[in-house]
Structure 1
Amino acid sequence: MIRVVLADDEPLTRAGIRTVLGAEPEFDVVAEAGDGHGAVELVQAHRPDVVLLDIMMPRLDGLSAAAEIHRTVPDTGVIMLTTFSEDEHIARAFDGGASGFLLKSGDPRELFAGIRAVAGGAAYLSPKIAQWAIRRLGGDRMSSAVRARELVNGLTTREREVLALVGSGLPNAEIGRRLHVVEGTVKVFVSAILRRLQVPNRVQAAIIAYEAGLVERD
């Protein structure tokens, strides 16, 4: 069972997400909040596997809530719920403690996949968010497509395989199963990949995987 805290200031949005998650027996929405401050308090009280945070909320915005949750309850994975109209906030979020980024208007299957991935310790980007990041952050914050391919070409064949699976949102345990290696070996590969790609986290490594063409785009 994956325990989830849901935070959004729109009751109808919360009700919709709760209904969608309720259709899958593996998810349990243990608490809901209508503002960022309440989200932090609920996460600290319930210690869920994942918290879903709207970016724009009263009292404390989602980005600030994410940073506080990451600081005080680091074992809880943070997924930001976004719209493209909030692109400047999405850019900020890439430097925070969030591990996942999903569109509110996205397919429920992406919501399921994102929660599973982040609960398992992986990063997850909605494919449309990843493509947005490539377009909007490429000039300033991430490598260009050419630079991404150059960086990826510097990896070993096995490292490229691992990076492609990281970009697909798979946790280390699942990557290990697919590649028939132990989880500890995957962690070593991921650490080496981050160092070689010159990025601080799996989210930005996933963007490079998309940009370099290692992950299929919708």
Structure 2
Amino acid sequence: MRDRSLLFERWPRFAFRHAWQVLGGTLLIIVVLGILYSTAAGKYADAFTLPGSESQNLFDMLEERFPATAGDSVTVVVQASRGIDDPTVKSQVEDLAQRLSRLPDVTAVSSPYGNSAAVSPDGKIARINVQYAEEAQKVPRSSAEALLDLRKELSTPEFQVEAGGFIVQRAERNPPGRTELIGIGAAVIILLLAFGSVVAMGLPITIAILGV
């Protein structure tokens, strides 16, 4: 009975009367635990390998014998209202392919001409494959941004250029900004109204921030 009184009466009363001290102590404990975890825990790995599997053996063989095609690729799609075979459009596509081949970390660029599978049936859309030397997580963000900058530079209403793939997705992923801060502020208000306590509100918010 005494333990029950401590848990449901004395401790909540103490936390209410000394809210800031309890919150500060909680934050201190979380920080200490975070430091201990960061020093004692191992490192995260972003390499996806399955030693001994057929897919991994195939990937290792590609990397050994065909290193230029072992990395990830980006698909660049061109849409031209006048058609891909139009002389002016063809010159633009070839210029695009040449400039793509000169981008950092790019090992090969395919041309849609001579490959019927790379051109739509109506002849207005073409696909260019841009091969990188590394997997998406190893390609520098600056290299992917260079491709996006080139796409933005050359794209017009008559000659639309788009790009897709894991490399592009990683480059387009924005770091936390004002939207996230607004979300945190809203969460603080909602939790404060729901729990009616600074301590009860601060604990999940602090854990969430440290866990990002």
User: Structure 1 length as normaliser, TM-score?
Assistant: 0.21
Higher share of residues assigned helix: 2
Structure number with higher relative contact order (C-alpha < 8 Å, ≥ 6 residues apart):
2
Look at both structures and tell me which one has the larger radius of gyration over its CA atoms.
2
Please, what TM-score do these two structures have when normalized by structure 2? 0.21
